[in-house]
Every structure is written in structure tokens, then in C-alpha cells.
Chain A
Amino acid sequence: MDLAIDLQNISKTYRNGVKALAGLNMQVGRGEIFGLLGPNGAGKSTLVKTLLRLVRPTRCEGLMLGRPIGHIPTLQKIGYLPEHVLYAKHLTPVDLLNFSGRLTGVPASVRRVRIPELLATVGMERWYKEPLANFSKGMKQRIGLAQALMNDPELIFLDEPTDGVDPLGRRDIRNLIFALRERGKTIFVNSHLLAELEMICDRVAILHEGRVVRQGPLKELTRHASRYEMVVETDVFGRELLVSLVRSLGGTLALTPDGQQTLVAIPTSRSQVVQPVIDEIRRSGITIVSITPVHQTLEELFMDTVLTNGKPLVPSVQPEAVPLR
């Protein structure tokens, strides 16, 4: 894999002794949308700030776009949208983009063309003359996104990009992120909105206590805990049969919340594995109400990973279900 970011053993211990990053390793491929997850205090912000040299690492070995971390000219190829972006009150969107362009060495002739394009891309062309101080949180995010793209970066860091943005705006930002990926850009997204990340990310990393406890393609990470869930109606005799059948496949049984039906979970993503079970159940006269293939969500993966601190996952069952005796 051609890497945009290749981090080896990054550590950061603050002066007050807080260890924000503890020998972190992480790889981000070029042209992918990469999601960084982690509970509060896991070190997500410290990691991004270290890459952008806002924070000085205690130890840092790694490359970003083929150059050592902290190499100032490399930042010319990088765009960044901070989480709580703060603009000078006197600036208008055009002023901000101009300023951003001048700092990243974009020639005036290019700025003249790119600024209206970017404002249109983020849907802010109507407000180009308004002072940023009058903007809502969502509008500021859109402008922040535009300034991050001013230098046509190869690698874009987005910290909570959809924070404060309305649903339509979120969809627009998602589409923009996909469009950027189509153009070969690498997008590094740091967000608490797991559903949002799940929709856009190719790969994710989960940070916990300053370390990457899990990283890889999203589909691969969630596949391990995929399952088929069957809701069946049966009597006591049928239930005994089910217990022996399902347990032999490593599955679980539980009563549905209303206590009227039985929920059978078989840990597999392959439909062929489930077919003999279905045949056996039907042969026994048990009524199958529904069969649903269930994939683990990113939220479930995140919760399991954080709660087990990255140890192998136990297939999850419906937490609200009552265990079968």
C-alpha cells in the first residue's frame, strides 16, 4: 500500500506527566478516507496536532507524504479543518481564503479563480462578503472546509467536519469528501459521529489510552462479529432442540423483549452455514418468524474495542434480550 502517513512509535508526554500518546503506530494509505476513533482523552487531537506540529512529540518516527513529521514545506500539501475553528472577526470568507492561500503560497491569479469555486463547492457563494463573525456554526464549518482546500492539498485532516452542520449540509460534505477521494486525495477524518464515519470511511483506527488498539479496513473489522439473527416461535420441547443445535454452532439464544418469541443468533457472515439450521428448525415444526443478516456496526465495534481494550471480540448479543434458562 502506498502510504500517505506512516507513523512508528509516536509518543507524547505533557509537562504535567499526562501520557497522551504511548508508542503509537498507524498507517494511512494514499487516496483513502481514513477515520480516527477513540473515547475522550484517547489522544486523537494530540495525534492530529502532532502531525501538524502544533504539539511537539516526545518521540516521533514516521513519514507524512514521504517526509519526516514536522517538515514545514510538506504542510504546503496539507489542508486542515480544526474542530473549534476560530476566525478573526473582521474577516469575510474571501479574506479568509485569500489569507489561507497566501500562507500556503497559492499565486494571486490562482486564488482569484479558486476562491469563487470553493465558495460554490461548500455552498457559501451568497455570503462571500459577510463578516465571519455573523456566521452560524455550520456556516463556519463550511468556510473552514473551503480554507482547508485552498491549496489543493494531497492530504486533508478534518476534525469533526460535520459538527453543527444540518442534515443537508452533512450530505453535501459527505459528497465532497467522496469527490475528493475520487480525485486521489487522502482524507483523514476525526469524528465522534460513528454513523457518519461508517458511511464514508475505507479504513479506521481506534485509539485507546494513546495507542492504536485496532486498525484496518472497516469491512474487515466489522466482518468478524457478523451474525444471522432468527426470530422463532416454539414450545418448550422445540426450545430444547434449538439449544443443542445452536450451541453446536457457537450461537446464542435469548427471549425477545416481549417474552413471546425466541431470538437465535448464529455468528457467521456466510449464508451457507445457516441453511442446515433452517432445515433442521423447519423439520422440527418450529415457526421461523424472521431471518436477518446482521453486520456489526462501527459503534458496536468501537464499544467492544474500547471496553475490551482491543482484546479479541466476543460476539455481541442484543443487550435488551432476556437470557434463556
Chain B
Amino acid sequence: MQLWAIISDTYRSLQSRGLFWVILCISLALGVLFASLGCHAEGWSVLFGAVKFESSFLRAGTDWEKSLLLNTLHALLDNWCMSWASLLALFAAATIFPDAMKPGAIDLLLSKPLGRGKLFLGKYLAALGFVAVQTTVLVTICFLSLWWRLHTVYWGIFWSVGLVALIFSFVFCFTTLVGILTRSSMAALLWSVLFWFLLWAVQKTEFETGRQIFAASTALPNEEIKTLSGRIQQVHHLAAQVMTVLPRTRQTGELFSHVIKADAPYSFTQIIGQSLIQNKSMKEMELLPDPPVPSVRATITSGVIFELVVLLLAFWRFHTRDF
């Protein structure tokens, strides 16, 4: 009862903030927009048929329709839930621990027969619950929409709820640590955004340099790539070293795209058509194959280990602190 009381109270506190409703409204709007996307006998349409486009291949009942919907769902989750919605959720959730540790608030909590561990866990889980609920709203609408449009039940897309919460937790554990150390919501938020940016920058560097090195090693007919300088290898090595101790948010997020790609016969690029790709550099990029990535287990395990270590540090400080 106590743990649930802490979780529900913290969740209600997050819910009372405007940001909760902003994220929810955007999620709902995106969900409805997704539901309005569909194909008909002569092509495809948005806004429930209000705006129609003719197409020779993108029509109802085809693999192209299935691909369009699943790829759009992936884009929604990747670009909204795993990025902007999580960032907005971080703005709201960064206050959880600093607010709870304010004099007068922590007194009320710790004077009850409640262990500090339970309090810590309850607050932490409430933040993850906040993200999970927001994602569930969008995913449920998408799930029903896919059922309606494709007459197929895609239970697998609910994995994305856990995945989004997991990626969020990789950053939020750091927010928790800074929040407990500084007791400042602002410091927790700023450091977390910086940390998130660091994760993105290092992973991007590792990926791009890795792709070039991999392309060179597979002897693609691109002279420019073959003459790789030693510096790229050094940068790649350094980024890879750094990523051994940091959570791989990018690759964790891509776990969901593997599920989607398995069910979607065509990619977005194929749907749009090669003729639309005019940019030369984009063509070259397409030539570069993706480098091998760590296994699913390795990706998740390293992230979870990082999270546990950071949480242990945060809890140790929370546990030993005088209020």
C-alpha cells in the first residue's frame, strides 16, 4: 500500500502540471492523425479521407499500405515518444526528487513508517510510469488504428511502451542523481539535457565513423572512403570506449524498428521512391552500409548496468543524507 501510495501521489503531482496535459494532447493529436492515414482503391489519404492522393501502387489491401502505416508508426515513436515527448517528460520529472527533499515536504514523508528505499523507488517508478502512460495513449490509438485499417492485431507494438520507458530511464537515473546531490530541479534538468546531448553526440560519432570504417573494410568502390585517415579510426575508437560505460539509447531505440521492419515489406525510402532522392550526398549515404551493432542483449545489459550503478549512487546519497 505504501509503495503504491507514493507512486500514485507522485504521479498525481506530475499530472497537476500543465506539461502533462501538453504532452498528452500532442500524443492524442498525433494518434488521431495516424488513425486518419489510410489507403483506398485509387491511392491514399489523410484526415480520414478529407485529403486524397492518387497512387498507382499505394492502395488499400496491398503490402505498400501495410508498409506505409508501420513505417509511419515507427517514425512517430522515434521522433515523438523517444525524443521530444521524453524530453518534455524530463522537464516535468526533474522536479520529483528536489521537490520531495524540500524542508517541510520530506519531514512529512520520512516521519511515516516508510523506508527511504521504498520512497526512492516509488518516486522513481512514478516518473517512468508518467512516460509509460503517455506512450501507451499514443500506442493504443495506433494499435486500434492498425487493427481497423489492416485487420491485423499488432500486439508487438506495445513493446515500444517498455522500450520508451527504458530509454527515458537511462537519462532519468542521471537526473535523479543530480537532483539528489544538488536538491535543485534546474540543475537536475540542465545536467540531464547536457547528458542526453552527450549521449547523442558520442553515439552519432561512433556510428558515422564506424560506418566509414566498415565501408572501407568491405572495399566499396569509393576511393574517398578507402583513403581513411588514421584520425577517423582514433575518433571511432575513442567514441566506442566512451560508449562502453554509457547507455546506448540510439541502439535501444532501434530495437523497435527491427520489429517494424520485420513486418513492413518496404521501407519509407522505397515507398517514396528513388526518383524523389535528388540530393547527391544522400545517394552516397545510401551506398554506405550500416556497421555491425552490438547484440540486443549487450545493448540493453550495458544500459541497465549503467542505470543501476547511477541509481545505487543516488540511493546511497539519499539514504545517508540528513534532512
Which A residues lie at the B interface, using CB under 8 A? Answer: 14, 49, 52-56, 72-76, 78, 80, 82-90, 99-100, 102-105, 147, 157
A55-B322, A99-B9 known; A76 and B113 CB under 8 Å? yes
Tell me whether A104 and B113 are in contact (CB under 8 A). Answer: yes
Which has the most chain A C-beta neighbours within 10 Å: B105, B106, B113? Answer: B113
Tell me whether A147 and B113 are in contact (CB under 8 A). Answer: no
Tell me whether B107 and A80 are in contact (CB under 8 A). Answer: yes
**Contact partners of A88 in chain B: CB under 8 A:** 9, 13, 16, 99, 105
Which has the most chain B C-beta neighbours within 10 Å: A73, A82, A89? Answer: A82
Q: Could you give, for residues 81-110 of chain B, a 1 whenever the CB lies within 8 Å of some chain A CB and a 0 otherwise? A: 000000000000000000100111111111
**Contact partners of B9 in chain A: CB under 8 A:** 88, 99
Partner among A52, A86, A104 whose Cβ is within 8 Å of the Cβ of B110: A52
Interface size on B, residues (CB 8 A): 28
**Contact partners of B13 in chain A: CB under 8 A:** 88, 90
**Shortest CB–CB separation between residue B91 and chain A, in angstroms?**
17
Q: Is B5 interfacial (CB-CB < 8 Å)?
A: yes
Interchain residue pairs A-B with the least CB separation, the first 7 = A86-B104, A90-B16, A82-B107, A102-B5, A80-B111, A103-B112, A75-B113
**Contact partners of A49 in chain B: CB under 8 A:** 107, 322-323
The CA-CA distance from A293 to B111 in the complex, in Å, is: 44
The binding surface of chain B is classed by DSSP as: helix
The CA-CA distance from A147 to B104 in the complex, in Å, is: 13
The CA-CA distance from A46 to B67 in the complex, in Å, is: 65
Residue of B nearest to A75 (CB): B113
**Contact partners of A83 in chain B: CB under 8 A:** 104
Tell me whether B113 and A105 are in contact (CB under 8 A). Answer: yes
The CA-CA distance from A157 to B111 in the complex, in Å, is: 10
The CA-CA distance from A104 to B106 in the complex, in Å, is: 15
Which has the most chain B C-beta neighbours within 10 Å: A74, A76, A83, A103? Answer: A103
The CA-CA distance from A185 to B15 in the complex, in Å, is: 38
**Shortest CB–CB separation between residue B246 and chain A, in angstroms?**
31
Partner among A52, A73, A86 whose Cβ is within 8 Å of the Cβ of B111: A52
Tell me whether A55 and B323 are in contact (CB under 8 A). Answer: yes
Residue of A nearest to B9 (CB): A99
Tell me whether B323 and A72 are in contact (CB under 8 A). Answer: no
Tell me whether B322 and A74 are in contact (CB under 8 A). Answer: no
Q: Is B115 interfacial (CB-CB < 8 Å)?
A: yes
Q: Could you give, for residues 1-42 of chain B, a 1 whenever the CB lies within 8 Å of some chain A CB and a 0 otherwise? A: 110111001001101100000000000000000000000000
The CA-CA distance from A104 to B112 in the complex, in Å, is: 6
Q: Is B295 interfacial (CB-CB < 8 Å)?
A: no
Tell me whether A99 and B5 are in contact (CB under 8 A). Answer: yes
Partner among B1, B102, B322 whose Cβ is within 8 Å of the Cβ of A54: B322
Partner among B12, B99, B104 whose Cβ is within 8 Å of the Cβ of A82: B104
Tell me whether B107 and A85 are in contact (CB under 8 A). Answer: yes
Q: Is B320 interfacial (CB-CB < 8 Å)?
A: yes
The CA-CA distance from A39 to B111 in the complex, in Å, is: 24
Tell me whether B103 and A86 are in contact (CB under 8 A). Answer: yes
Which B residues lie at the A interface, using CB under 8 A? Answer: 1-2, 4-6, 9, 12-13, 15-16, 99, 102-115, 320, 322-323
**Contact partners of B15 in chain A: CB under 8 A:** 90
Residue of B nearest to A53 (CB): B110
Tell me whether A78 and B111 are in contact (CB under 8 A). Answer: yes
The CA-CA distance from A82 to B112 in the complex, in Å, is: 12
The CA-CA distance from A85 to B15 in the complex, in Å, is: 22
A14-B322, A55-B322, A55-B323 known; A102 and B110 CB under 8 Å? no
The CA-CA distance from A103 to B118 in the complex, in Å, is: 11
Tell me whether A54 and B115 are in contact (CB under 8 A). Answer: no
Partner among A85, A90, A100 whose Cβ is within 8 Å of the Cβ of B112: A100
18 A-B pairs with CB atoms under 8 Å apart are A49-B107, A49-B322, A49-B323, A56-B320, A75-B111, A82-B104, A82-B111, A83-B104, A84-B103, A84-B104, A85-B108, A86-B103, A86-B104, A88-B105, A90-B13, A100-B108, A103-B6, A103-B112
**Shortest CB–CB separation between residue B202 and chain A, in angstroms?**
35
Tell me whether A54 and B110 are in contact (CB under 8 A). Answer: yes
The CA-CA distance from A19 to B5 in the complex, in Å, is: 37
Residue of A nearest to B104 (CB): A86
A52-B110, A80-B111, A105-B1 known; A86 and B105 CB under 8 Å? yes
A55-B322, A88-B9 known; A103 and B109 CB under 8 Å? yes
Tell me whether B107 and A54 are in contact (CB under 8 A). Answer: yes
The CA-CA distance from A86 to B110 in the complex, in Å, is: 13
Tell me whether B16 and A54 are in contact (CB under 8 A). Answer: no
**Contact partners of A76 in chain B: CB under 8 A:** 113
**Contact partners of A86 in chain B: CB under 8 A:** 102-105, 108
Residue of B nearest to A84 (CB): B104
The CA-CA distance from A54 to B114 in the complex, in Å, is: 12
The CA-CA distance from A237 to B274 in the complex, in Å, is: 125
The CA-CA distance from A105 to B1 in the complex, in Å, is: 8
**Shortest CB–CB separation between residue A105 and chain B, in angstroms?**
7
A49-B323, A88-B9, A105-B1 known; A54 and B106 CB under 8 Å? yes
**Contact partners of B4 in chain A: CB under 8 A:** 102
**Contact partners of A72 in chain B: CB under 8 A:** 113-115
The CA-CA distance from A223 to B320 in the complex, in Å, is: 45
The CA-CA distance from A55 to B323 in the complex, in Å, is: 6
Residue of A nearest to B321 (CB): A56
**Shortest CB–CB separation between residue A84 and chain B, in angstroms?**
4
**Contact partners of A74 in chain B: CB under 8 A:** 113
The CA-CA distance from A82 to B109 in the complex, in Å, is: 11
A56-B322, A102-B2 known; A82 and B113 CB under 8 Å? no
**Contact partners of B112 in chain A: CB under 8 A:** 75, 100, 103-104
Partner among A14, A55, A87, A89 whose Cβ is within 8 Å of the Cβ of B16: A89
